[in-house]
Structure 1
């Protein structure tokens, strides 16, 4: 008689916030899968729903509470984890029925809470976890988290109080994970942490043996090793560095970009340029030196794309400070820029600073910085028209009913997924799929995106 395999309990997952949270969600789901749980695509089919929350800004907390409320209404059996887990009293006051609440990257506690709420059914017949774990991103790109926490104490940020001080992963563990991801089909690795440049500072750059040689837990060593990886087709995957503070050793990774070992892209959270605002923010920065370094980076690697984000309306920011930032942006000519209106976050030191900027002034400055950066972006993209650039394909459209032509959405090396622009393609032909990498001729551009055709 055939053995009847019992139905496994099903888990639903809502993951909010940054890519670092997404990596946490993937790790939790991978562990649950290995314990025999199935995944549910909707509330109705789930025995338990996990909500991985974001608690960085008040607006993010609102979104997290809404997501918990929706999960409670639709399912009722909810476990809360993530950054807002540190505010269990706020969550319990609003949703006393939640089954459990755990903090950021507390994988064991989350898994134990799921076991308590819906015990796993042991089954020796089913091997449940794919090699490399479960992924919430498309197969062709993956986030590679190298550390947790942060040693900075920026006055507007509560991340260290949520996630603690910097804790770096072992370099051999990072490289082994990267190797597995590429072997499983990843064509683009996005290196993330709270502070990628500080990787290994806490372990004194502890060296480990890797492929018969000693490699330090240091951003430059890690970048060089990631540049040696090859996909099944023998190509170098794109390797993108995010959340890079401009410490002096960042200069050493630019030649790796010029050599093609790293994607020519740096995500640097500058936050502002005015010395007085940076001081109030408690940011490590020297904005004049940074401009000359950016110029040198572009000399070494002309194709380097630099993305950043800025806060406008920080307490004490004067019109002169804001104008200083606009002038700095004119000189820096950054490729990709995001801006945020300052929001007080409960527990952040910045809330007590004098000189609160009125909301209407914040809004007006936000519109001005977006206008300025859109104009810079449009000019930089216009300069790419007529060039042939490599792209990675994210999505292929349906064939047109009239002429059969197929369009697609791709990204250039200057575009990180979900935060930067796209390259919209026409006439890609049949047989193309997500993750394909090929050259395209750029035919047109607007403020943020490029348009082209396979070369």
Structure 2
């Protein structure tokens, strides 16, 4: 989870004969959840800033606080509720003025009616389609002097919003990397997930729109472009004349695809790399693998959540893929993209998962030896198909399976890290003594720890000299040294 405390101070407005029409509106934001939600926060702040607001750094002094929530799993929902209540408790201690509280994001989109009854402390609930109009809603709260019984619920139906290259945005990431949302929504019917209910069907931005946004970001000095969506590999396929099926591989003959987008982005001048996040195994094709291997701009890093490997569990999860497809896909990726870093996530404790099926998963992890791997305990989501399934797994059993899977992956990760000693890697410097390699996505992956400082936001070559559990230790080397890892 990422929490961002940002405050935006509105400029004072004046009128002839009146020294001050109203006090400045100060807007604070707490952003929770994934990178896709972070982009929504950036768009909200961009709209606020576009209306003449200035950015400061004190949530406590804000006249209105926006909590941009996550509603994906129970832990995220609990964190969001705690953040909302925390803001309310703090504002009760304010000596003067009445701080407003606005709740946005996935939790608000999904549960606004229930939350309005349970959290009367909130002044307004807004949905995913109000991302670009948050500033106007904030102004409305202060311009409306009538007493309203209970919170305003401005959430509309299933989201249809899609940002464009010129959508105002105030970036919350460091200046050297950015997230670019290339699509919204999802068409997959995964039984454990309710994201389509919140964010709607998959809808892709146009290639020209994404290209222009990336061109502007690179022009501002961004060195890493992280392409994100709910299903990055499905990009463009919703725009095909002939409808793409749920297991349709990427095929550029049929219309716009991620391949065409990557080709366009590769033509942009400047030194930067592109990272693919949130891809789906059902859509990977040989054509896409070869495009990634041949494109010098694209990091040889593939984030592909698999969720499980047992055939029956995959069917119950409605993953629209199979064990054999996944096994073959991983082998082909390693063969066609030399040196590729594979990142995945798995869910343990899915309803009905037996010990034997869990052992099948452990065996797959052992054999495949993913460079990066995360494990989640199944979270029973209200409104999901899996939430209604029998044979729910106990919390204790889920925790035990989680520990076993992570202990296995920790051993694999340590062995992999030790195998990197002596290699030269190209890294992006995050802090004077901290960097990330091609195989390290922001926030979720290990780091490269440097033995002497380098300029932040630039690329450098380093030689790996040792390890620190998951992290690598390295020393800078001459720029002509050829990266080999």
Question: TM-score when scaled to structure 2?
Answer: 0.82
Structure 1: tracts of 5 or more residues without a match: 120-129, 207-213, 397-407
Other-structure match for 1:91: 115
Contact 2:105–2:126 (CA<8 Å) still a contact in 1?
Answer: yes
Other-structure match for 2:379: 343
Question: Within the alignment, does 1:112 sit opposite 2:147 as a pair?
Answer: no
**For residues 235-274 of structure 1, what are the structure 2 equivalents within 5 Å?**
235=271, 237-259=272-294, 260-274=296-310
Contact 1:267–1:307 (CA<8 Å) still a contact in 2?
Answer: yes
Residues 315/12 of structure 1: CA separation in 2 closer, same or farther (3 Å cut):
same
Structure 1: how far apart are the matches of 2:398 and 2:349? 5
Q: Secondary structure at the match of 2:188?
A: coil
Other-structure match for 1:399: none
Residues 5/361 of structure 1: CA separation in 2 closer, same or farther (3 Å cut):
closer
Deviation at 1:74, TM superposition (A): 2.3
Residues 180/215 of structure 1: CA separation in 2 closer, same or farther (3 Å cut):
farther
Question: Within the alignment, does 1:293 sit opposite 2:329 as a pair?
Answer: yes
Structure 2: how far apart are the matches of 1:94 and 1:132? 33
Deviation at 1:303, TM superposition (A): 1.4
Q: 2:436 aligns with which of 411, 418, 421?
A: 411
Structure 1: how far apart are the matches of 2:307 and 2:211? 30
Residues 132/382 of structure 1: CA separation in 2 closer, same or farther (3 Å cut):
farther
What's the C-alpha RMSD, in Å, of the aligned pairs? 2.3
Other-structure match for 1:54: 70
Residues 25/13 of structure 1: CA separation in 2 closer, same or farther (3 Å cut):
same
Structure 2: how far apart are the matches of 1:51 and 1:31? 16
**For residues 284-323 of structure 1, what are the structure 2 equivalents within 5 Å?**
284-323=320-359
Q: 2:125 aligns with which of 101, 124, 130?
A: 101
Other-structure match for 2:151: none
Question: TM-score when scaled to structure 1?
Answer: 0.87
Q: Secondary structure at the match of 1:59?
A: helix
Contact 1:16–1:54 (CA<8 Å) still a contact in 2?
Answer: yes
1:321-353 per-position Cα deviation (integer Å, ceiling 9, x unaligned): 001111111222211011011111111111111
Other-structure match for 1:68: 84
**For residues 131-210 of structure 1, what are the structure 2 equivalents within 5 Å?**
133-204=169-240
Other-structure match for 2:447: 422
Residues 131/321 of structure 1: CA separation in 2 closer, same or farther (3 Å cut):
closer
Other-structure match for 2:162: none
Residues 445/31 of structure 1: CA separation in 2 closer, same or farther (3 Å cut):
same
Residues 215/14 of structure 1: CA separation in 2 closer, same or farther (3 Å cut):
farther
Structure 1: how far apart are the matches of 2:112 and 2:282? 36
Deviation at 1:5, TM superposition (A): 7.5
Residues 164/224 of structure 1: CA separation in 2 closer, same or farther (3 Å cut):
same
Deviation at 1:253, TM superposition (A): 3.2
Deviation at 1:38, TM superposition (A): 2.3
Q: Secondary structure at the match of 2:357?
A: helix
Other-structure match for 2:474: 452
Structure 2: tracts of 5 or more residues without a match: 1-11, 15-22, 92-98, 144-165, 243-252, 478-485
1:249-302 per-position Cα deviation (integer Å, ceiling 9, x unaligned): 443233344332310011001000001111111112122232233222222222
